[in-house]
């Protein structure tokens, strides 16, 4: 009997890693009035085996990635000269002075070899006329096999959480025990969290609970709270499923503005697995 050679574990050439970061930059611009910004900070997560294979050349990989970003930015500006005649901002620029690119091994142990995750951060200017303070926009692009998905998350940085009074309280039990969380921000995200999934209330549970499962939003003008479902398996409010708060568009997960009013006292279910008791305090 002749044994067949074991299937080779898929590997992603370093050249493809660089191109994935550059493509992420091209796809995630932020138009302003007089210019268009691109993110300056990128974190690239690799499977631990991939990271170990590339670890010896990481300084060269980082240098060539920043060089490729600069060259792509220059090419974008050359193509945009025609936009002057269309009244569009012709200048595309780095949001910072320098490029910052870091390569890390997957800390959660969920990526397969050959998978690639690119996470970028872009500090957006405050817009007081719209009641929007300084925000950090994070965009994550995940390459798995032949599938690419993108998600966007914005964090309001206008006022430190420690300076805020307690507006509501959330109590719940998960696999690590009993928890009580004071709601002091106008927006908080609930879920299992993970790579590039910053959550305020981190749930230790099965994969039925999504990495970013739900968001609670407070309207500063009225003090009312709203629940937004961001999950795969659904969110309930007092036993009833709430409508999904996002759409899948060309592989991207984009919030659609759908939200459900939260009463002063409510029970929130995450995939019928974890239940949170919400109570308004002030």
Look up the CATH number of domain 14-156.
3.30.2320
Report the 10 Å Cβ neighbour count for 272.
Answer: 13
Whether the CB-CB separation of 266 and 260 falls below 8 Å is answered with no
Distance separating alpha carbons of residues 56 and 4, to the nearest angstrom: 32
pLDDT in tens, 79-130: 766 555 555 556 898 988 899 999 999 988 878 888 999 999 887 665 554 4
Same fold flag, 14-156 and 161-280: no
pLDDT in tens, 238-265: 999 999 999 887 767 788 999 999 999 9
Domain parsing of the chain, residue ranges: 14-156, 161-280
Whether the CB-CB separation of 235 and 229 falls below 8 Å is answered with yes
DSSP classification of residue 263: P
DSSP classification of residue 169: E
Q: pLDDT below 70 — which residues of the chain?
A: 1-10, 80-90, 124-135, 154-163, 251
Pairing mode, if any, of strands 252-255 and 246-249?
Answer: antiparallel
Give the pLDDT confidence score for residue 177 in this predicted structure.
94
The pTM score is 0.68
Give the pLDDT confidence score for residue 163 in this predicted structure.
61
Give the pLDDT confidence score for residue 130 in this predicted structure.
45
Give Cβ neighbours of residue 89 (< 8 Å, ≥ 6 apart): 31, 32, 33, 34, 35, 36, 83
Give the pLDDT confidence score for residue 2 in this predicted structure.
46
Distance separating alpha carbons of residues 202 and 158, to the nearest angstrom: 22
Q: Which CATH number fits domain 161-280: 2.60.200.20, 1.25.50.10, 3.40.50.300, 3.40.190.10?
A: 2.60.200.20
């Amino acid at each position: 009997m002749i044994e067949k050679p074991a299937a080779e574990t898929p590997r992603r050439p370093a050249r493809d890693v660089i191109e994935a970061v550059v493509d992420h930059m091209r796809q995630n611009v932020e138009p302003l009035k007089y210019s268009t910004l691109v993110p300056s900070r990128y974190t690239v997560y690799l499977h631990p085996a991939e990271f170990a294979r590339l670890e010896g050349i990481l300084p060269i990989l980082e240098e060539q990635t920043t060089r490729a970003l600069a060259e792509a930015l220059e090419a974008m500006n050359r193509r945009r000269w025609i936009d002057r005649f269309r009244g569009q901002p012709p200048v595309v620029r780095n949001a910072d002075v320098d490029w910052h690119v870091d390569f890390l091994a997957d800390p959660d142990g969920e990526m397969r070899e050959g998978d690639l995750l690119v996470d970028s951060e872009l500090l957006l200017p405050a817009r007081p006329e719209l009641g929007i303070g300084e925000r950090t926009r994070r965009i994550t692009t995940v390459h798995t096999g032949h599938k690419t998905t993108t998600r966007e998350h914005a964090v309001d940085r206008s006022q430190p959480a420690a300076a805020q009074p307690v507006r509501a309280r959330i109590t719940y039990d998960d696999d690590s025990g009993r928890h009580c969380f004071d709601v002091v921000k106008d927006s908080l995200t609930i879920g299992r969290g993970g790579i590039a999934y910053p959550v305020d209330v981190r749930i230790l549970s099965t994969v039925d609970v999504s990495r970013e499962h739900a968001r609670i939003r407070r309207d500063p003008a009225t003090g009312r709270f709203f629940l937004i479902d961001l999950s795969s398996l659904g969110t309930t409010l007092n036993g009833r499923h709430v409508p999904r708060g996002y759409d899948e568009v060309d592989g991207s997960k984009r919030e659609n503005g759908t939200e459900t009013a939260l009463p002063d006292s409510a029970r929130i279910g995450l995939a019928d697995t974890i239940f949170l008791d919400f109570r308004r305090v002030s």
